[in-house]
Structure 1
Amino acid sequence: MHFGFQKLSVSLALLAAGVAHAGRACDDFYARLPNVQRALCEQAQLQDSSARSVQGRPIYTRDVRPEGARLRVLVIGGMHGDELSSSSVALHWIQLAQEAPERTHWRFIPALNPDGLFSRPSHRVNANGVDLNRNFPTPNWERDAPFYWEKRTRKDPRRWPGKTPLSEPESKFLHEEMQRFQPNLIVSIHAPYGVLDFDGPIQPPSRLGRLYLDQVGIFPGSLGNYGGVHKGMPVVTIELPSALLTPRNVEIQRMWQDLRQWMGDTLAADGTDAPLRP
């Protein structure tokens, strides 16, 4: 009995610590992100993943998993720290996922790059100066990623791919999440180009809300290249029109509805709605 009480006490302590962490996260997100009220963040019930950024900040996640879920969808915001609107939209979508249960297991990572997000000013790269969206292990990364950075970007420090693929704790965490979660779909939210991009083996969505499909190309080390092209995990890349302002709430909802409609039409038709493994 005493051992059981100890286990219960430890569990309650861990739960309390998680709630405290989430409360601090909401303090930070409310102060930093556009169109995010504290209540919205608190309702998201963010969980500390135990992963840490370069500077030791927690990377938060949130699972919304209704009973009987058959699709797994991974939603990522804030891969680039200066794209504040992407994290805001991810938090709004957590609320929408909670309000409308469906047969989809959603896993949200609203701020993959907290060091970039909370720096003053915010910046695209992580605390090591690495563009996380060029740090994934695409084929021939060692040759192609440095060449692209040096020749095509003229050594733009905002797009440095790092010394090796998955050199950063943030990209390594996302890579491990992809392996653990095995998503049927990845949605990566960015800004500010105002288009919809797609990589993968299935029919892409033609539009989400006011964003229309405009496939911008394949880049060495990008998530779209690694997940969609190399691993066959469809990647929808959303480029919001502004990095500092979100779309209106009605547009955020419309994008969500269009995404769900496309998923229902395409993923189910493609046979990718396999039952979740226990």
Structure 2
Amino acid sequence: MYTRDVPVENARRRVLVVGAMHGDELSSASVALHWIKLSQAAQKQSQTHWLFIPALNPDGLLSRPSSRVNANGVDLNRNFPTPDWEKETAEYWDKRVRKDPRRWPGKTSLSEPESQYLYDEIRRFQPHLIVSIHAPYGVLDFDGPVRAPDRLGHLHLNQVGIFPGSLGNFGGVQNGMPVVTVELPNALKTPTDVEIKRMWSDLQNWMEGTITPTVTARAPSPTVR
């Protein structure tokens, strides 16, 4: 798994950025890679320790055609341990999405190496904030105990709901670890450089006023199988 760690001395906060959890959302990986450059350019002045995982689902990203699910056919964003995972995800997959193969949650929570890897990284890094980049709904979603950002660039807050096994549910709802979900407007087309920098700037400004040194990240609760 490719990652990029951008540490700083005396960091006030730790932020984890995840792209391409769904392999067919290519623009999400691209934005994460652009943000790595921006974080490195400001590293000496930054008070944020960044950890980037630009492509959590490399198998889906590199398959032809690219695929939302991983090599085992699992939607990674339904595979994280949330309460009553087995019952809730079964109902979600059977009734809400009518067994759409693009949204299969897997046989058990954390059954997949990619979701297990991210779970372990969250426990190790203990981020104060997680930013998960997706596409193509063109909105900003948020889960967590602090004030949500109103906008990042052209994306405005429009919370889409809570899903069993999702990262937002697992991190923001169950473990009190704010999760900003960036839904880019196009899965294949990367935003302009101006828009990428604008989203980045808006994220910094929101973090400065919201994700403060007094915010303590909690390690995730024990795995729910």
Question: Which TM class, normalised by the smaller chain length?
Answer: over 0.9
Corresponding residue for residue 109 of structure 1: 53
d(CA) in 1 for partners of 2:81, 2:22: 18
Residues 1-278 of structure 1: pairs in structure 2 closer than 5 A = 59-101=1-43, 102-268=46-212, 271-272=214-215
d(CA) in 2 for partners of 1:257, 1:206: 13
Corresponding residue for residue 28 of structure 1: none
Question: What amino acid maps onto 1:272 in structure 2?
Answer: V
Once superposed, which parts of structure 1, at least 4 consecutive aligned residues long, lie more than 2 Å away?
A: none
Provide, for residues 224-246 of structure 1, a one-character-per-residue CA deviation record: whole Å limited to 9, x for no partner.
00000001100000000000001
d(CA) in 2 for partners of 1:123, 1:96: 28
Pairwise CA distance, 1:148: 0.6
1:215 to 1:103, Cα distance in 2 relative to 1, 3 A = same
Provide, for residues 215-264 of structure 1, a one-character-per-residue CA deviation record: whole Å limited to 9, x for no partner.
00000000000000001100000000000001100100000000000000
Corresponding residue for residue 36 of structure 1: none
Corresponding residue for residue 221 of structure 2: none
SS at match of 1:125: coil
Are the counterparts in 2 of residues 71 and 273 from structure 1 also a CA contact under 8 Å? no
d(CA) in 1 for partners of 2:171, 2:216: 18
Pairwise CA distance, 1:271: 2.1
Structure-2-length-normalised TM-score: 0.94
* Greater RCO, CA 8 A, separation 6+: 2
Question: What amino acid maps onto 1:72 in structure 2?
Answer: R
d(CA) in 2 for partners of 1:63, 1:273: 20
SS at match of 1:130: coil
SS at match of 1:225: helix
Structure 1 unaligned regions, length at least 5: 1-58
d(CA) in 1 for partners of 2:13, 2:137: 29
Are the counterparts in 2 of residues 70 and 273 from structure 1 also a CA contact under 8 Å? no
d(CA) in 1 for partners of 2:216, 2:80: 26
Pairwise CA distance, 1:273: 7.0
Percent identity over the alignment is 72
Are the counterparts in 2 of residues 116 and 126 from structure 1 also a CA contact under 8 Å? yes
Are the counterparts in 2 of residues 129 and 158 from structure 1 also a CA contact under 8 Å? yes
d(CA) in 2 for partners of 1:266, 1:184: 11
d(CA) in 1 for partners of 2:134, 2:152: 14
Structure 2 unaligned regions, length at least 5: 218-225
Pairwise CA distance, 1:214: 0.2
Q: Which has the larger radius of gyration?
A: 1
d(CA) in 2 for partners of 1:71, 1:273: 9
Pairwise CA distance, 1:67: 1.4
Number of residue-to-residue matches in the alignment: 215
Question: What amino acid maps onto 2:13 in structure 1?
Answer: L
d(CA) in 1 for partners of 2:170, 2:8: 29
1:249 to 1:221, Cα distance in 2 relative to 1, 3 A = same
Structure richer in helix, relative to its length: 1
Structure-1-length-normalised TM-score: 0.76
